[in-house]
Amino acid sequence: MKKKTSGIKLIVMVMIMVILAGCTPDSNEQSSGNGDSKSKNTLVISSVREPDTIDVHKTTWVDNSTANIYDTLLKRDLEGNIIPGLAEKYDISDDGKIWTFYLDENVTFHSGEPLTAEAVKKSFERFLEYSAVKFLAGPVDKMEVDGQKLMIYFTEPFAPFASGLTTAYLAPMDPKALDDYGEDFGKNPSASGIFKFEERVRGSSITYMKNEDYNWGPPFVDNKGAPGFDKYEFRFITDDDTRVLEFKKGTTQIMTNVPPNYIKDLETTEGVKIDRMFEQGITYLGFNNKKPMFQDKRVRQAIALGINRDPLVEFALEGYAKPLFGPLPQSIPGYSEKVEGEAAQKYTQNVEKAKSLLEEAGWKDTNGDGIVEKDGKPFSFEIWLSDEPVMQRIVQILQGQLKEIGIVVNISVQEPASISANTPKGLHDAILNTYGWSDPDILYMLFGKGSSLRMHYEPEELHNLLTKARQTMDMEERMKIYEEAQQFLVEESPWVPLFVRENVTAYRDINGFKQNPYSQSIIFNDITSK
């Protein structure tokens, strides 16, 4: 007996950010389009972070500027349910090891090639070969194709699979583009989404055309067909003042990641509307636990005790966030009030206790300069972070707080692409970062064996718990396992969760703006010009 699963409730997110305008085009990353972003029927979106690539198999970062060229087998509706997408329906066998997808026969890729089970299989095989997040696919044994039916066999049950299929990472790619461009697919991306690639100007923008053939919109949008603008230009502007000025001038119509210090001003600006929702992820200070200085649990706990989250929220974020002590925010299944309470009790700032733990671990201020030393070496470490102004304000506050317990923090602002490339190599001491997944399987992605690319922390006991949770198809039992895993993380403190941020977007001169609170993505299908 098979069971239908189109209404499973889970939650996922794809993060939103983006970087700077006015650079010369990279001819290797332009299509044959003319790149005219001044067209009257162009929607311009500005944000902070520029993606490293549009090839989702070669990145760990997907956002509004890259996701909409793709369409997914499954989707999140506006209530958080997982519903059919390019797959009209799907079944899971009773043992949880065989997933069968029945594909929509009316979908085409941007090249005009039809969506087939064979094409999906080809994309999936490429994902398994190249992706740094291949663990999203779970323990795949084999795949079989029968017409428009794709069967994926697992060696063991894999509960988070449906959640992963709602994201662009596992979206089908255009097989013709894969054949034509191979390794250069990211410079000539093609799939089945509402946007078609036109041009990328490195350091400045990405421009898409609307997909004229699109007519398979999901049930939660009014417009099932092609979107309302001819072109969509994503501009990457790191400077807050410049980004806000361009928006106020009307040069851009949507501004994601509104700087907290500008929100109140924009709320009272004529013609501007604000959309707010809490992110389904957290901002955290992550240690490289391979570094000797962080291998003593007492040191990690001391740093956690040295941090006061309130100034981070009130001053760096102008109150547009809420403090968090545990591993999961309230919006993710598996969040535990019990764990959050225990973590808050354990790690609310206590400078004296932090100093005591450091001393127990052999770190003492022997010369009275206020900095602790061990074996003659002062305690200092470097925090990597992106060039987003808010993150820079946060790290400066952390720097001052940790100096109070005798630790010197050095700040290193880096390009996001550099952070993504070098943290898996373990070249960092620590990072100020965010995660943007909203299934509790994020804990496996952060701490599972072979996937702890940021914190380099994957102890056997924790890995076993997270693996067991992945294999447990019963939701209630699965959540109990995640609670145990969270308690382990609270005790061991391989990172310091800091806060849940409000995602604030401003828009003007358009109708039909809305976001999906569960995927944290802008729904471009219904947006039209005023």
Q: What is the phi/psi pair of residue 438, to 5°?
A: -130, 30
Q: What is the phi/psi pair of residue 198, to 5°?
A: -120, -55
Average pLDDT for residues 146-154, to the nearest whole number?
Answer: 97
- By CB neighbour count within 10 A (0-12 exposed, 13-18 middle, 19+ buried), where does 293 fall? buried
Sign of the C-alpha dihedral computed for residues 103, 59, 455 and 349 taken in this order: negative
Is 275 a member of any domain?
no
Separation of CA 105 from chain center: 31
Same-domain pairing of 182 and 318: no
Same-domain pairing of 65 and 202: yes
Same-domain pairing of 72 and 43: yes
Same-domain pairing of 138 and 93: yes
Is 111 a member of any domain?
yes
Same-domain pairing of 392 and 375: yes
Same-domain pairing of 289 and 201: no
Is 406 a member of any domain?
yes
Is 262 a member of any domain?
no
Helix (H) or strand (E) holding 196: strand 195-201
Domain around 49: 3-253+509-529
Residues comprising the chain, all counted: 530
Average pLDDT for residues 321-344, to the nearest whole number?
Answer: 95
Name the DSSP letter for residue 153.
E
Q: What is the phi/psi pair of residue 304, to 5°?
A: -60, -40
pLDDT tens digit string along 456-492? 999 999 999 999 999 999 999 999 999 999 999 999 9
Same-domain pairing of 297 and 200: no
Label the pairing between strands 408-413 and 380-385.
parallel
Number of domains in the chain: 2
Average pLDDT for residues 244-270, to the nearest whole number?
Answer: 96
Is 276 a member of any domain?
no
Is 239 a member of any domain?
yes
- By CB neighbour count within 10 A (0-12 exposed, 13-18 middle, 19+ buried), where does 173 fall? buried
Are 109 and 175 spatial neighbours (Cβ–Cβ below 8 Å)?
yes
Same-domain pairing of 323 and 459: yes
3-state secondary structure of 451: coil
Average pLDDT for residues 389-397, to the nearest whole number?
Answer: 95
| Residues 280, 282: Cα–Cα separation, whole Å | 7
Q: What are the structure tokens assigned to 184, written together?
A: 């250069």
Is 17 a member of any domain?
yes
Q: How far is CA 300 from CA 403, 489, 492, in A?
A: 15, 11, 8
For position 82, which CATH number holds? 3.40.190.10
Whether the per-residue pLDDT at 409 is higher than 90: the answer is: yes
Separation of CA 84 from chain center: 22
- By CB neighbour count within 10 A (0-12 exposed, 13-18 middle, 19+ buried), where does 529 fall? middle
pTM of the model: 0.82
Same-domain pairing of 326 and 194: no
Q: How many of the other CB atoms lie within 10 Å of CB of 112? A: 9
Region at 463 (left for phi over 0; alpha for psi -120 to 50; beta for the rest):
alpha
Are 503 and 524 spatial neighbours (Cβ–Cβ below 8 Å)?
no
Whether the per-residue pLDDT at 162 is higher than 70: the answer is: yes
Is 153 a member of any domain?
yes
| Residues 246, 252: Cα–Cα separation, whole Å | 6
Same-domain pairing of 459 and 435: yes
Sign of the C-alpha dihedral computed for residues 470, 472, 478 and 480 taken in this order: negative
Same-domain pairing of 95 and 221: yes
For position 356, which CATH number holds? 3.10.105.10
Same-domain pairing of 474 and 515: no
pLDDT tens digit string along 298-328? 999 999 999 999 999 999 999 999 999 999 9
